[in-house]
A and B are shown apart, each in its own frame.
Chain A
Amino acid sequence: MTLRLFIPVDAGALAVGAEEVAAAIRTAAARRNVAAEIVRTGSRGLYWLEPMVEVETPAGRLAYGPVAPGDAESLLGAILGNGAHPLRLGPTEEIPWLKRQTRLTFARCGVVDPRSLEDYRAHGGCRSVQRALSLGPQAIVEEVVQSGLRGRGGAGFPTGIKWRTVAQTEAAQKYIICNADEGDSGTFADRMIMEGDPFVLIEGMAIAGIAVGATKGYVYIRSEYPHSAATMEAAIAAARRGGLLGNRIADSSCAFDMEVRVGAGAYVCGEETSLLDSLEGKRGVVRAKPPLPAHKGLFGSPTVINNVLSFASVPIILDKGGAFYRDFGMGKSRGTMPIQLAGNVKHGGLFETAFGVTLGELVDDIGGGTRSGRPVRAVQVGGPLGAYFPRALFDTPFDYEAFAAREGLIGHGGIVVFDDTVDMAKQARFAMEFCAIESCGKCTPCRVGSTRGMEVIDRIIRGENRAANTALLEDLCHTLKFGSLCALGGFTPYPVMSALTHFPEDFAAPPRLQAAE
């Protein structure tokens, strides 16, 4: 009997030794003359347990982790014996952290071989594109509108409405673009999908193509994600061979094909209009809106541009129906959100759940507090343009409107946890510094304001005219927020002002002594 093992090939798992573990297990199996098939999967998203090794049993998969190469011998012995091992986590699906999630978008991530279309089909894939073809364009759009799905990149614009606009715009050529420029620190959900279940993204984009009448798609992947780009390339090639992409997708008369484009290290290219310019081969400079990309996008053609998670949520919506998806969530935030716990957190990883879970539950209960064991002092939600939340606001439910009401944003769903050694004045300064490094330079508030912002924060930290400089910083943030062309300049005030509002003591001289910085 051949032993079937599953070891992630996800970059996060590779970064902590998954490749070495796979090699060690292969060697150990060869030494014992055991036939072992090692399937390389995506990650389940329980990163503190990576590298995680799973083994197929008649009762389902059993998990072990975190496994080091030196554990290979004893692990294999356990797997061949009664299964007992200090690293044994039990049946994977029963691990509480995984079991309490609602995995709709990430249902297959960590389960399937990301390069095998057959495996994708065997796990329910490709059903949705069939249903989409039988429904027809208008009904697909209505299904997505009904689902309440909002743009998962951060802006939260209703996906179905965007699709409807493109569908209703007449043009000889239309485009479907996937924004995989996941630059926000603390986020990695797009990366996990591309490395763990790329076909769900391809299927989502193909459905978008059928819905709006577009025949060409691009996935714009940031260059910091070489593993994602390689897996997407392989999956696209497999999808072409298997008829999910091409001139007659799923044996229909519809044509859709796509290709990978790699960015070049510009954070601002995650902004949709800047991404369009970059794809066209220009500097990634933000465009003024209107015109909307839905009317005049790539090369002036009507363009659907959505985040990876938005497209990846479409197949489940088409498969189970818009109403099924809409029944999860709260208020105007429908469905599930893949939330990413990162930074100084004990249980870091991907937690997909319906909207409405509170920040406190996410950080203290699910995240387990800090990895350093020190008290949680602040969390930044939504990337470098997101606000810092103090413990006092941990009752905020994960919901677009609830975060906006507290001068924050959920963005792409990343939560970065900081312990009590954090210097919030330094974090505020970094927000301005990052904006200065990454500004595309088109609008003055962002281009100039970010550098002036660093200087003003430096003066406040040094104790120069603190009251006057604080007032100046507030004024500057107001200008950035309302005068910038895009979210880079427009949202940089969120981390700055939240740090100043909730942690004013850190801006008072003398600077806090830092235990571990």
Chain B
Amino acid sequence: MSTMHQGSRNRDRTPWDKEIALQCIREHLDREGPLLPILHAIQEQFGYVDEAAEPLIAETLNITRAEVHGVVTFYHDFRREPAGRHVLKLCRAEACQAAGGDPLARHAETRLGLSMGRTAPDGSVTLEPVYCLGLCAVAPSAMLDGRVVGRLDERRLETLLAEAQQ
């Protein structure tokens, strides 16, 4: 299901496979405007959108490869390479800023030795900014592998970081 793309753990993803990718594409062909559902399905399957998927999609939908590439690169969600086994998203938007989110984000960067948007060299975790999880009344907030966490403080963040480094 396309809606689950953010929820699953990256360690469960399968390696790139052309036949499986074609299945992901075919599943959505009867929908109007199928490109986003297809890209979500491919990312859910493999954890990222391999460059090799672009010509497959283009050919099936009868659009140019440039059009597919343009869409893949437009949206923040679509990855060009696999993420870490865990993905930790920290909200950087205003409500979380107001509640002390900025120092927590810096703490996470220091602790993991990663800047926002990067993956740890051991492949354990990808640290990402997110602009609002809609948890603004329990700010600051975070999402670890699809699990939401609110009222983040240093102690709760430490727990998340430890989990993310496994």
Please give the residue numbers on chain A whose beta carbons come within 8 Å of chain B beta carbons, in ascending order: 11-12, 14-16, 47-48, 50, 182-188, 190-191, 221, 223-227, 229-230, 233, 259-267, 278-285, 299, 340-345, 348-350, 371, 380, 384, 414, 416-419, 422, 427, 430, 434, 437-438, 440, 516-517
Residues in chain B near residue A230, CB distance under 8 A:
3-4
Does A380 lie within 8 Å of B75, measured CB to CB?
no
Does A422 lie within 8 Å of B75, measured CB to CB?
no
| B39 nearest CB neighbor, chain A only | A264
Residue B120 is within 8 A (CB to CB) of chain A in the complex: no
* A-contacting 9-mer, from B16-24, B80-88, B94-102: B94-102
A191 in contact with B137 given A223-B5, A343-B95, A384-B93 (CB within 8 Å): no
Pairs A-B, 5 closest by C-beta atoms: A281-B35, A15-B150, A348-B137, A343-B98, A342-B136
Docked Cα-Cα span, A50 to B135, in Å, equals: 12
Residues in chain B near residue A261, CB distance under 8 A:
2, 36-37
Please pick, from B67, B94, B138, the residue contacting A384 in the complex, using a CB distance under 8 A.
B94
Please pick, from A12, A259, A279, A416, the residue contacting B150 in the complex, using a CB distance under 8 A.
A12
Please pick, from B97, B102, B148, B151, the residue contacting A14 in the complex, using a CB distance under 8 A.
B148
Residue B114 is within 8 A (CB to CB) of chain A in the complex: no
Residues in chain B near residue A517, CB distance under 8 A:
100, 102-103
Does B139 lie within 8 Å of A188, measured CB to CB?
no
1/0 contact trace for B130-166 toward A, CB 8 Å? 1111111111010100101111000000000000000
A185 in contact with B131 given A14-B148, A266-B74, A343-B95 (CB within 8 Å): yes
For chain B, residues 62 to 84, give those with C-beta under 8 angstroms from any C-beta of chain A: 67, 70-71, 74-78
Residues in chain A near residue B121, CB distance under 8 A:
none
Docked Cα-Cα span, A297 to B99, in Å, equals: 39
Please pick, from B75, B96, B136, the residue contacting A264 in the complex, using a CB distance under 8 A.
B75
Residue B6 is within 8 A (CB to CB) of chain A in the complex: yes
A187 in contact with B3 given A264-B36, A282-B71, A342-B95 (CB within 8 Å): no
| B136 nearest CB neighbor, chain A only | A342
Closest chain A CB from B161 CB (angstroms): 17
Residues in chain A near residue B134, CB distance under 8 A:
11-12, 182, 187-188, 190-191, 224-225
Q: Can you show 24 pairs from A to B with CB atoms below 8 A apart?
A: A15-B141, A225-B134, A261-B2, A262-B36, A265-B75, A265-B76, A266-B76, A267-B131, A281-B34, A281-B61, A281-B71, A299-B32, A343-B97, A343-B98, A343-B139, A344-B100, A345-B137, A348-B136, A348-B138, A350-B137, A384-B93, A384-B131, A430-B94, A516-B103
Please give the residue numbers on chain B whose beta carbons come within 8 Å of chain A beta carbons, in ascending order: 1-7, 31-37, 39-40, 61, 67, 70-71, 74-78, 93-100, 102-103, 130-139, 141, 143, 146, 148-151
Residues in chain A near residue B150, CB distance under 8 A:
12, 15-16
| A280 nearest CB neighbor, chain B only | B33
Please pick, from B34, B71, B136, the residue contacting A186 in the complex, using a CB distance under 8 A.
B136
Does A224 lie within 8 Å of B130, measured CB to CB?
yes
Docked Cα-Cα span, A237 to B132, in Å, equals: 28
Docked Cα-Cα span, A229 to B7, in Å, equals: 11
Please pick, from B34, B136, B139, the residue contacting A187 in the complex, using a CB distance under 8 A.
B136
Docked Cα-Cα span, A349 to B151, in Å, equals: 14
Docked Cα-Cα span, A517 to B103, in Å, equals: 7
Residues in chain A near residue B77, CB distance under 8 A:
223, 263-265
Please pick, from B75, B99, B137, B143, the residue contacting A12 in the complex, using a CB distance under 8 A.
B137
Closest chain B CB from A254 CB (angstroms): 21
Residues in chain A near residue B93, CB distance under 8 A:
185, 384, 434
Docked Cα-Cα span, A230 to B136, in Å, equals: 20
Residues in chain B near residue A186, CB distance under 8 A:
94-95, 136
| A285 nearest CB neighbor, chain B only | B74
Residues in chain A near residue B32, CB distance under 8 A:
280, 299
With most chain B CB atoms within 10 A of its CB, the pick from A261, A263, A384, A419 is A261
Residues in chain B near residue A233, CB distance under 8 A:
1, 3
Residues in chain B near residue A345, CB distance under 8 A:
137
Does A185 lie within 8 Å of B33, measured CB to CB?
no
A341 in contact with B74 given A262-B3, A280-B33 (CB within 8 Å): no
| A281 nearest CB neighbor, chain B only | B35
Please pick, from B4, B5, B74, B96, the residue contacting A284 in the complex, using a CB distance under 8 A.
B74
Please pick, from A47, A226, A349, the residue contacting B7 in the complex, using a CB distance under 8 A.
A226
| B128 nearest CB neighbor, chain A only | A265
Residues in chain A near residue B96, CB distance under 8 A:
185, 343
With most chain B CB atoms within 10 A of its CB, the pick from A191, A262, A342 is A342
Residues in chain A near residue B40, CB distance under 8 A:
262, 264
Closest chain A CB from B107 CB (angstroms): 12
Residues in chain A near residue B143, CB distance under 8 A:
224
Does B36 lie within 8 Å of A281, measured CB to CB?
yes
Residues in chain B near residue A434, CB distance under 8 A:
93, 131
Does B5 lie within 8 Å of A262, measured CB to CB?
yes
With most chain A CB atoms within 10 A of its CB, the pick from B6, B31, B96, B99 is B99
Residues in chain A near residue B97, CB distance under 8 A:
343, 427, 430
Closest chain A CB from B37 CB (angstroms): 7
Please pick, from A267, A343, A430, the residue contacting B136 in the complex, using a CB distance under 8 A.
A343
Closest chain B CB from A305 CB (angstroms): 14
Residues in chain B near residue A191, CB distance under 8 A:
134
Does A262 lie within 8 Å of B2, measured CB to CB?
yes
Please pick, from A227, A299, A380, A440, the residue contacting B94 in the complex, using a CB distance under 8 A.
A380
Docked Cα-Cα span, A414 to B134, in Å, equals: 11
Docked Cα-Cα span, A416 to B32, in Å, equals: 38
Does A260 lie within 8 Å of B3, measured CB to CB?
yes
Docked Cα-Cα span, A15 to B134, in Å, equals: 11
Residues in chain B near residue A371, CB distance under 8 A:
99
| B102 nearest CB neighbor, chain A only | A517
Does A416 lie within 8 Å of B33, measured CB to CB?
no
Residues in chain B near residue A187, CB distance under 8 A:
132, 134, 136
With most chain B CB atoms within 10 A of its CB, the pick from A16, A187, A266 is A16
Does B98 lie within 8 Å of A418, measured CB to CB?
yes
Docked Cα-Cα span, A349 to B133, in Å, equals: 14
